[in-house]
């Protein structure tokens, strides 16, 4: 991990210096040649103690970070410039075929005569392993992720259910069926985290500081695990029970700019939940539809279709001026999303609302 981090930071600094000084870029091939020379130098001979494949993969990761940054500039997406790796953050190395050996349910890595001491979470479907990624979390835990080519078909039987989901803060998800699902209470865990952070800031001495840092990292990890477990269980349940799932394409990066709601929005983890729904939908043969963020799902009456002129966030129930129906704000939005998803599934296209915008994302409406 240390060698990989050193190589990444060394060549990132070199590329920045070269561009700042001479306005020229260093390619991946050039960094690969420079790495060979670096390993011959007396001060950095210790780089030969680890697998050359891992170090070359680090250079590829650096090049990919640069490529993503420049692609983001062209597409006007928020992709940050490559940053230096810290020892206290999550570190990882990737080994491709030829750089490791799998035999008798054991993994051997280069420069090591003994296999990795792995506590398997599940049985591998086959031995067609493409690569392995070894990662170290800030809390000091080691993980091995194994990439395996799995040709099994996981498609679920077809069903006729369409579900609209309205994501929120007080209630994490409101279904078009009227059900409301709340996020597990994370407040006590955040309060404990706050106390641990205070203790960490007051510690003196390297060893005491490091012990306090690990406690903070473990608390962060615990919160993340609770949230991720909730997202996994809820997304799996939704995918198993419904054929079509419809939800809004929320502008999370823009919403967190609101200083009053930023923390509450970040704690929900909407982006992670939607990601889980998307990949599980693809794996199990379900449709996940994202509606345009400007579609007035909350202001549209699910009974008659009329649109309210104004509906502030603090109003949770409202009565339609046209038909007199009283609506729960979130359930009404979920019903409108379900109706839109039903139309798309039946006719294969979008339904244009009164505001004149197409309610479906043009690029990837149906995944």
Instruction: Indicate the pLDDT class of residue 258, thresholds 50, 70 and 90.
Output: confident
Whether 330 is a known active-site residue: answer yes
Residue 322 and residue 179 share a domain:
yes
Sheet of 244-248, strands arranged across: 180-181, 173-175, 162-167, 244-248, 287-291
Residue 140 and residue 279 share a domain:
no
Distance, C-alpha 81 to centroid of its chain:
18
Residue 173 and residue 141 share a domain:
no
Tell me whether residue 102 is in a domain. yes
Provide the phi-psi class of 111: left if phi over 0, else alpha when psi is between -120 and 50, else beta: left
pLDDT given at position 307? 85
- In the structure encoding, which two tokens stand for residue 36, read together? 């060979």
Residue at which a domain ends, from 125, 148, 171: 148
- Per the model's pLDDT, the better-predicted residue between 107 and 297 turns out to be 107
Catalytic-labelled residue, pool 43, 248, 287, 321: 248
Tell me whether residue 354 is in a domain. no
Total Cβ atoms within 10 A of residue 259? 7
Q: What is the mean pLDDT of residues 242-266?
A: 86
Residue at which a domain ends, from 148, 176, 191: 148
Question: Does residue 362 surpass a pLDDT of 60?
Answer: no
Catalytic-labelled residue, pool 64, 166, 221, 241: 166
pLDDT given at position 257? 82
| Helical residues (DSSP H) of 75-139, grouped into ranges | none
Residue 100 CB partners (closer than 8 Å, separation 6+): 107, 108, 109, 110, 132
Residue 220 and residue 172 share a domain:
yes
pLDDT given at position 308? 81
Residue 169 and residue 131 share a domain:
no
Q: What is the dihedral of CA 45, 131, 221, 224, to 10 degrees?
A: 140
Tell me whether residue 263 is in a domain. yes
180-181 and 173-175 as β-strands: parallel, antiparallel, unpaired?
A: antiparallel
Residue 68 and residue 210 share a domain:
no
What pLDDT, in 10s, does the model give residues 102-155?
A: 988 899 998 888 999 999 988 888 888 999 999 999 999 999 999 998 888 889
Adjacent-strand bridge partners of 143: 135
Catalytic-labelled residue, pool 249, 287, 292, 330: 330
Residue 251 and residue 216 share a domain:
yes
Residue at which a domain ends, from 96, 122, 148: 148
Tell me whether residue 129 is in a domain. yes
Indicate the length of the chain as a whole number: 367
- Is residue 133 within 8 A of residue 93, CB to CB? The reply is yes
Name the domain count of the chain. Answer: 2
| Helical residues (DSSP H) of 23-82, grouped into ranges | 28-40, 52-74
Residue 174 and residue 138 share a domain:
no
The average confidence (pLDDT) of the chain is 87
Residue 277 and residue 245 share a domain:
yes
Residue 135 and residue 193 share a domain:
no
Provide the phi-psi class of 205: left if phi over 0, else alpha when psi is between -120 and 50, else beta: left
What pLDDT, in 10s, does the model give residues 302-312?
A: 888 888 878 88
Tell me whether residue 131 is in a domain. yes
pLDDT given at position 104? 86
Residue 238 and residue 119 share a domain:
no
Whether 166 is a known active-site residue: answer yes
- Is residue 136 within 8 A of residue 126, CB to CB? The reply is no
Question: Does residue 32 surpass a pLDDT of 70?
Answer: yes
Tell me whether residue 360 is in a domain. no
Residue 187 and residue 128 share a domain:
no
Provide the phi-psi class of 190: left if phi over 0, else alpha when psi is between -120 and 50, else beta: alpha
- Is residue 213 within 8 A of residue 204, CB to CB? The reply is no
Tell me whether residue 367 is in a domain. no
What pLDDT, in 10s, does the model give residues 225-245?
A: 999 999 999 999 999 999 999
Tell me whether residue 267 is in a domain. yes
- Per the model's pLDDT, the better-predicted residue between 234 and 77 turns out to be 234
Question: The domain containing residue 209 runs over which residues?
Answer: 162-347
What pLDDT, in 10s, does the model give residues 177-196?
A: 999 999 999 999 999 999 99
Domain of residue 284, CATH code: 3.30.420
């Amino acid at each position: 991990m240390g060698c990989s981090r050193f190589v990444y930071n060394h060549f990132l600094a070199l590329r920045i210096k070269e561009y700042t000084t001479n306005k020229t870029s260093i390619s991946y091939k050039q960094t690969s040649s420079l790495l060979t020379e670096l390993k011959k130098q007396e001060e950095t001979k210790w780089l030969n103690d680890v697998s050359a494949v891992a170090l070359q993969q680090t250079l590829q990761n650096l090049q990919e970070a640069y490529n993503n940054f420049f692609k983001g500039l062209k597409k006007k997406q928020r992709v940050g410039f490559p940053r230096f790796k810290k020892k206290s953050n999550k570190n990882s190395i990737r080994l491709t075929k030829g750089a490791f050996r799998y035999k008798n349910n054991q993994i051997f890595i280069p420069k090591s005569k003994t296999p990795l001491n792995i506590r398997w979470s599940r049985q591998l479907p086959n031995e067609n392993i493409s690569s392995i990624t070894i990662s170290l979390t800030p809390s000091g835990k080691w993980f091995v992720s194994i990439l395996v080519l799995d040709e099994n078909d996981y498609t679920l039987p077809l069903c006729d259910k369409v579900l609209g989901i309205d994501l929120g803060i007080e209630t994490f998800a409101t279904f078009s069926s009227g059900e409301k699902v709340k996020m597990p209470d994370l407040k006590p865990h955040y309060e404990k985290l706050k106390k641990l952070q205070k203790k960490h800031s007051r510690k003196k001495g390297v060893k005491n500081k490091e012990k306090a840092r690990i406690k903070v990292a473990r608390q962060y990890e615990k919160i993340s695990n609770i949230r991720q477990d909730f997202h996994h269980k809820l997304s799996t349940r939704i995918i198993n029970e419904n054929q079509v799932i419809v939800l809004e394409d929320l502008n999370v990066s823009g919403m967190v700019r609101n200083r009053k709601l930023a923390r509450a929005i970040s704690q929900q983890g909407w982006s992670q939940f939607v990601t889980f729904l998307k990949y599980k939908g693809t794996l199990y043969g379900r449709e996940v539809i994202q509606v345009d963020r400007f579609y007035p799902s909350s202001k549209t009456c699910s009974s008659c279709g009329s649109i309210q002129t104004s509906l502030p966030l603090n109003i949770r129930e409202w009565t339609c001026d046209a038909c007199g129906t009283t609506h729960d704000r979130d359930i009404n939005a979920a019903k409108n999303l379900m109706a839109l998803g039903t139309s798309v599934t039946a006719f294969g296209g979008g339904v244009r609302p009164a505001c004149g915008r197409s309610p479906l994302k043009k690029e990837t409406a149906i995944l």
